[in-house]
Every structure is written in structure tokens, then in C-alpha cells.
Amino acid sequence: MLGSFLGWFFYLFDPLANLAIPPIQPQARLRPENNVPVAAEGPWEDIITGHYGVPPLIRIHDRDGIVKWKFERDDVQQDLPDEIRKCLYSSANDATELKWIRNGTAVAAVYSALALIINHTPDNPETDKLITWAICRDNEFLWNAHTLEPLPGDRMAVGTTGQRPWDGVLVYNTSEALPLDPSPPILQNVTGLRAIHGLIWDEAGSALWAAGTDFAADGSDPEPARATIHAYPFDEATGLLQADDAYVYRLDEPIRQEVEWGAGFSWWVGAHDLVPIPNQRKFLISEDHGLHAFDIPTGRFTEHNAAVADKYMPGFRVTTNDRHGVDGDGVFQELPYGDLKGFSIAPDGSFIYVQSLWQKYRGNHTSIVENGVYREINQGLEIYRSRWFGNIDGWPKPL
């Protein structure tokens, strides 16, 4: 009852109901009518996976899990500022984010108590695994940072993944001309979106998209929180993200995480990964309870749960059969599409995902589906995310 009442309540105040908002349009150079050839990427053999542990481990491997390249802290031979070395050798077990950047010659990651960029030049051992940028997360702003994403002009957006009104996105200069600095100047501080777990650069729309919650996900605000995606158009003239409330899109209803964690659990269902569909102006978004498709031109959520799997991830399979419980109204619920901490779709239709184990924070394998056929790789590892190690067609990283 409460749920459907709130659904209507929020519908009345839904910013999407305001038709005056201009939709985000593809940049001229990427509009189909301009026929600018864009080379297809591929061949989609490489996957990057973060393995939790002390120390954590980042691996690039093939579709069978055969490791081609790895990074752990003992691989670092270069001189580092003391503070960065301390954060690298912290007791944090995190390997929370890992992304292909700089045309595959580097990896951006949240690793141990750092957010960093590591060279990936396996053919050149001189430069391979050098840290070219790193910030310490060992402070009140960044300790829970879950994700990062490059922006044009050597900038890096880092999601602070916190619950306070001033949490959001911090932007840094990652130019290799700058010396390593554990607490570098902040180019921009975009506040307002809590609990950011996904960030993706939209080259066609010239915007950064973030997935988080509109209020505190942990229930510490008087208002209920909903999984929310927010687009921040990038102003090329100033190099700044525009925080325009027009581009805020919320899921319909706030839901407490009681099915998994028990009656009275204060946390709200919040966003996890924000995943572009190759060559389409669409995202999939995962949250604790399910999966949703989002259409950029109309600013609407178009499919949910089974309909998302049927259309965009055929062959998706729940990874364990214990994903069920009783919600706050005493109703038994199955959550087979819930808690994909990380997932990634290749242009050939193959997809990978990491679904957290029930009542845990991470999975113990990576699921891969090719031509509708499901397999498990990386079995026995403690994993939060796996991603294709490539430039997703239609969603190139910034130049």
C-alpha cells in the first residue's frame, strides 16, 4: 500500500513530467546522418577482474580466465611519495573498480586505499605497471570511493560513494606531466548524488553519467532514498561538469533492503553498475533488487528485471538459488536479478557479470554468457567487478 502511494506521489513530482527539459542529443560528429566512420573495436577476448584480498589483485584474462597480465602492489618498483606508498600498502582489501583507459595502455582502478592509473604496456617492461597518478582514499571524503571514470583533457572523475549531502563526484587532473601527489588539488567538486557506484563517460552526449541515490542510502536522512541516475553535461569551454537537476532520473519507489538483510534494516535499495549497451543510446542499471533498462533520448526506464534479461542479456542465469527472503510487508520475494555489482556487454552480444552472493558483498566467480550459453570463470576468487577490457563501441572513452 505504502509502496503504491509513494509511487504515485513521486510520479506527480517526477522531473520527467516537465517536457521543457531538452533531451541529451548526440554530438554532431557522432550523429548517424553525418556518416563519420567509427572503427569497430574488438575482438573482445580480454576481461579485467578485481580480486579482493590483502593484497588485492587486478588481472587481465581471457574468456577462459587464463591470466595475461596482473597487477599487485609488490609489482611496483618505482619511487613513490611516502603517503602514496602507505596507501598502497594499507590493509584495505579493495579491488573495487578497474577500467580500460588511454587506448588500452593504462588501467584506472580503485585498488587498496588508492584510486590510481597504472600503465598497461606488457610489450614494454620499462613502462609497464608504473603508477602515473594516484590519490589516497584514506580520508573522510574518499575512503568509500567505489568508482572512477576519465573525462576529456586528462581529467578523472571519482565517485565519493558516501551518504552526506556533499558527497558526489570529485574531478582531478591526471596529466602525466604532474608529479605524484597523494592529495592533489580538486578541479571540481560536484555535490549532491549519494552512494555513487557507477560512472560512465558519454562521448556522444558529451556528458558524465553517474548512478547513485538521491538521499542517503543508509537511511540516515529523513527522506527515503531511490536509485538515481544523473547526467552532468560537460562544458568544453570551461572543462566543467554542469550539475543540472533536469537530468536526474529516479526509479519509481524507494525500497528498504529487508528481503536480504531482515526486517527493519535501514538501508535503501541503491544503484550498482551503470552499463552502456554497445552502439545504442541506452544503459542498463543494476541495483540491490533488480535490473533496469534506461533510454537516453526519452529519459525513461523502459524494461525491468526478466524483461531486461530477455532483451539485452539472453542466457542470464541467477548464480545461486538462495536469493530470496521476506520483505517489510511479510511478502516472500525472489530476487534473481539483484545485486549485480559489475557487468559488461560486448558488441558481439557476449556479456559478463558478477552477482554478489546472498548476504555477502561480493561474488566468488565471474559469469560469462556467449551465444546464450552460461559459464563460470574465475571460480573461487572474491570478486566485485569484471569488465571487458576494451573501448565499447558507441561509448568510447574520451580522447
Ligand X SMILES: *[C@@H]1O[C@H](CO)[C@@H](O)[C@H](O)[C@H]1NC(C)=O
Smallest distance, Å, CB 170 to ligand X?
6
Q: How many residues does the chain have?
A: 399
Smallest distance, Å, CB 174 to ligand X?
8
Whether residue 54 contacts residue 74, with contact meaning beta carbons closer than 8 Å, is answered with no
Which residues, in sequence order, are CB contacts of 134 under 8 Å at separation 6+?
Answer: 80, 84, 87, 88, 114, 115, 116, 117, 180, 182
Smallest distance, Å, CB 273 to ligand X?
20
Q: CA-CA distance, 294 to 209, in Å (whole number)? A: 12
Query: What cell does 96 get?
Result: 573495487
Residue 252 three-state SS: coil
Q: Closer to ligand X by CB, 46 or 218: give it.
A: 46
* Helix H or strand E encompassing 8: helix 2-12
Smallest distance, Å, CB 239 to ligand X?
5
Q: CA-CA distance, 118 to 133, in Å (whole number)? A: 8
Q: Closer to ligand X by CB, 255 or 355: give it.
A: 355
Q: Closer to ligand X by CB, 104 or 349: give it.
A: 104
Smallest distance, Å, CB 153 to ligand X?
5
Query: What cell does 120 get?
Result: 598497461
Residue 259 three-state SS: helix
Write phi, then psi, for 279 (nearest 5 degrees): 60, 20
Q: Closer to ligand X by CB, 280 or 364: give it.
A: 364
CA angle 174, 179, 184 (to 5 degrees): 60
Smallest distance, Å, CB 38 to ligand X?
12
What is the chain's alpha carbon radius of gyration, rounded to the nearest angstrom?
20
Smallest distance, Å, CB 283 to ligand X?
25
Q: CA-CA distance, 131 to 83, in Å (whole number)? A: 14
Q: Closer to ligand X by CB, 307 or 357: give it.
A: 357
Smallest distance, Å, CB 211 to ligand X?
20
Q: Closer to ligand X by CB, 118 or 284: give it.
A: 118
Q: Closer to ligand X by CB, 107 or 255: give it.
A: 107
Query: Of 361, 23, 399, 48, nearest to 197 (Cα)?
Result: 361
Q: Closer to ligand X by CB, 246 or 357: give it.
A: 357
Residue numbers of the site for ligand X (CB under 6 A)? 103-104, 141, 153-154, 166, 170, 173, 175, 177-178, 186-187, 189, 191, 239, 320, 357, 364, 379-380
